[in-house]
Amino acid sequence: AQSVTQLGSHVSVSEGALVLLRCNYSSSVPPYLFWYVQYPNQGLQLLLKYTSAATLVKGINGFEAEFKKSETSFHLTKPSAHMSDAAEYFCAVSDQDTNAGKSTFGDGTTLTVKP
Amino acid sequence: DVKVTQSSRYLVKRTGEKVFLECVQDMDHENMFWYRQDPGLGLRLIYFSYDVKMKEKGDIPEGYSVSREKKERFSLILESASTNQTSMYLCASRGGTGPTSPLHFGNGTRLTVT
């Protein structure tokens, strides 16, 4: 079974600082990986995805993630945090064994941005 | 833009009641999902459906059932609500090429069972 682990349930950075949110995956096959963001009182929305093309993936709002097979990681980064980035972030892996492609999520990381 | 609409943002129900959570998507997606979200536990899959009248159990199906009579609508049913089902429920849909396509989420229904 595929799984993801997000290291750190809470991350706090200052405005303008680097954002690094960690995600490690476990999969017996090349994975399909996603990062989603959830703002307060909303559903999740896609930030970016990796589907075996380029290992460095760029997403919305200046976020990017790098797929590293040797480290089984897919960490999310942003060079300079904005106050509007405060939200909860979820890493997810998609199951290739079913047509529906059901997704398994990490426990989430809450990002706080200090002024 | 894909729109996934959950009929209620907040629901308060009593223990033992039968509860229906409704979800509608407008993009003709084959796949629909129900997750529950609890603090520190991320999202856990309850049930999913890959076609009309087709359904499969997810990771935590106990105490729940689902119905998909039309492609655009996927209902989650709590047969006899219990306090441990107090949670945020998120509906999602996925189309395209299955596992490589992202999920599209509704805004969630926060259910409180008293």
Best A2, A34, A103 residue to mutate vs chain B (most B CBs within 10 Å) = A103
Nearest Cα to B68, choosing from B45, B48, B95, B96?
B48
pLDDT of residue A87 exceeding 80, the answer is: yes
Q: Between A7 and B101, where is the model more confident?
A: A7
How close A15 gets to chain B, by Cα (Å)?
25
pLDDT at A107: 94
- The Cα of B107 is separated from the nearest Cα of chain A by a number of Å equal to 4
| pLDDT for the residue numbered A100 | 66
Which segments of chain B have a pLDDT < 70? 2, 97
In angstroms, rounded to a whole number, what is the distance separating the alpha carbons of residues B110 and B100?
29
pLDDT for B97: 65
pLDDT given at position A27: 81
Q: Where does the pLDDT of residue A99 fall: very low under 50, low under 70, confident under 90, or very high at 90 and above? A: low
| Nearest Cα to Cα of residue A42 among B80, B67, B104, B60 | B104
A103 touches chain B (CB under 8 A): yes
Q: Does B50 touch chain A (CB under 8 A)?
A: yes
Amino acid at A77: T
CA distance readout (Å), B67 to B46, B78, B83, B107: 13, 11, 23, 20
Distance between CA B47 and CA B55 in Å, rounded? 7
Residue B40: per-residue pLDDT: 86
Is residue A53 scored above 80 in pLDDT?
no
Where residue A98 falls among pLDDT bands split at 50, 70, 90? low
